[in-house]
Amino acid sequence: SSPTAHNSDYNLYRLYLVTDSTPAILGDKDICDVVDRAIQGGVTIVQYRDKTSDTGVLVSTARKLHQVTQKHHVPLLINDRVDVALAVGCEGVHLGQDDMDIATARQILGPSKCIGISANNIQEAILACEQGADYLGIGTIFSTQTKKDTKSILGLAGLKQTLESLSEKGYEHIPTVCIGGLNASNITQVMSHGSSPKNPLNGVAVVSAIMAAHDPKAASMQLSNLITESHMQN
């Protein structure tokens, strides 16, 4: 069965891995091996994010990653590049505010592919829902070395406010993950103080907490367990 990232399964977004190919984070590890181990440890969805490679490398790496994620029945999304997602036939894309607009991406990818959108504030989050986003990545929550061009830091109060505004507009059914500076030392706090009972956060997205880890499987298991414990308390 081919996974879709496009359903209401609450757990689909619980531990969302965003990859990084830079030596500072990936080191000399193999990206496919890291992703395979991370899924074994509990990652539920993967976004291939690579801001430095040429298009040829993007396509070939995406193909290899898709073999890994398909083996585990986990969806693969491509950051920024609708053409690369279409070329490899993976489950969808993740688009930022400066990328292709949702309507055009939807036209190209069709109704069954997943289109996730980055939102940095309440306005962006609501607009993305109005335009048909399948899920939202809300951030930046805490400052991070991983993304140099981060806009404002939302913090936990900003995250909670965004989730509540979405529920006031009737968008609490759209899945949400948060991103930015998240790791085992702050995830429990994020799930309890950043989430809203009216619109609970579906999950957490991380880059370095898994991609830079010496043992990506163990790191993923630890994060996954913390998220499970938090869900049980809410």
Catalytic residues: 49, 118, 147
CB 65 within 8 A of CB 31: yes
Q: Say which entry of ligand TZP, Mg ion, none residue 99 contacts (CB below 5 to 8 A, set by partner kind).
A: Mg ion
- DSSP letters along 100-116, please? --HHHHHHHH-TTSEEE
Residue 99 binds to Mg ion (criterion: CB under 5 A): yes
Give the integer Cα–Cα distance in Å for 42 and 119. Answer: 25
Site mask, ligand TZP, residues 148-177, x = CB under 6 A?
A: --x---------------------------
Give the integer Cα–Cα distance in Å for 138 and 163. Answer: 9
Give the integer Cα–Cα distance in Å for 180 and 147. Answer: 8
Residue 182 binds to ligand TZP (criterion: CB under 6 A): yes
Our CB check for ligand TZP shows the closer of 70 and 153 to be 153
E-assigned strand segments in the chain: 15-18, 45-48, 76-79, 92-95, 114-119, 135-139, 176-179, 203-206
Interface pick for Mg ion out of 80, 91, 124, 134 (rule CB under 5 A): 80
Q: Say which entry of Mg ion, ligand TZP, none residue 96 contacts (CB below 5 to 8 A, set by partner kind).
A: Mg ion
What the block records as the tokens of 123 is 């306005």
CB of 198 to Mg ion, least distance (A): 29
Contact footprint for ligand TZP (CB under 6 A): 18, 139-140, 144, 146-147, 150, 179-182, 206-209
Q: Which spans of this chain sit near Mg ion (rule: CB under 5 A)?
A: 80, 96, 99
